[in-house]
A and B are shown apart, each in its own frame.
Chain A
Amino acid sequence: DQQVKQNSPSLSVQEGRISILNCDYTNSMFDYFLWYKKYPAEGPTFLISISSIKDKNEDGRFTVFLNKSAKHLSLHIVPSQPGDSAVYFCAASRRGGGNKLTFGTGTQLKVEL
């Protein structure tokens, strides 16, 4: 049972344009959502997060939007840079879950010159 889904395995964007990565979840008990970025041969690194009591969180070029009614969140990167090329994982946790994260399958972002 895949509780966190990233339906686009890959995304290609031109440098300077906006990248939008999407994530859907099924478990209504999730109350915190995170995005991790992963380069080849490295572990995932934390990028940005959002609590379920908010609908938007912004950090520099990165913004995460949460639509609770649709059980959907998205990560916007603007402007996209070549160094953003990586795999992006969406993850979720729930209150009382002991900090356990449930990850999606990831989206490979390629930012082209």
Chain B
Amino acid sequence: EAGVAQSPRYKIIEKRQSVAFWCNPISGHATLYWYQQILGQGPKLLIQFQNNGVVDDSQLPKDRFSAERLKGVDSTLKIQPAKLEDSAVYLCASSLLRLTPGQPYEQYFGPGTRLTVT
């Protein structure tokens, strides 16, 4: 079974430029997550999709970050314009749709995209 794919793996941009990241989840996984992991911290959820709908985007800085999952499969995360504090690893994860309450489904993570903003 293929894992979660992400590209690019590394990106260096100057502040105020824009950047986009791509994620292809595991086949059949209805739920897709984007996390931001700043050096020395744990991953922080930015946005969660269920199929092509947004479940949670409460921690997404909407003035500069946007994400879409138009066909309910792959997804893109965009930053425009980038700031120095956006330097981080951006992780994509996917999981099955949770049908029973209480037990969270295991999230499978991609390798991440390391973004450096100079």
Contacts and interface: CB of A to CB of B under 8 A. Distances in A.
Contact of B48 (A34, A95, A100, A105): A100
Nearest to B97: A99
Contact of B41 (A32, A100, A101, A105): A105
Interface residues of B, number: 28
A98 B43 contact: no
B105 to A, nearest CB: 6
A39 B43 CA distance: 14
A32 B103 contact: yes
A104 to B, nearest CB: 5
A45 B109 CA distance: 7
Contact of B42 (A93, A98, A105): A105
Interface string A62-91: 000000000000000000000000000101
A41 B111 contact: yes
A80 B18 CA distance: 44
Interface string A1-36: 000101001000000000000000000000110101
A99 B98 contact: yes
Interface of A: 4, 6, 9, 31-32, 34, 36, 41-46, 49, 51, 89, 91, 93, 95-106
11 contacts: A9-B40, A32-B103, A42-B111, A49-B104, A49-B106, A99-B105, A100-B45, A101-B45, A101-B104, A101-B107, A103-B42
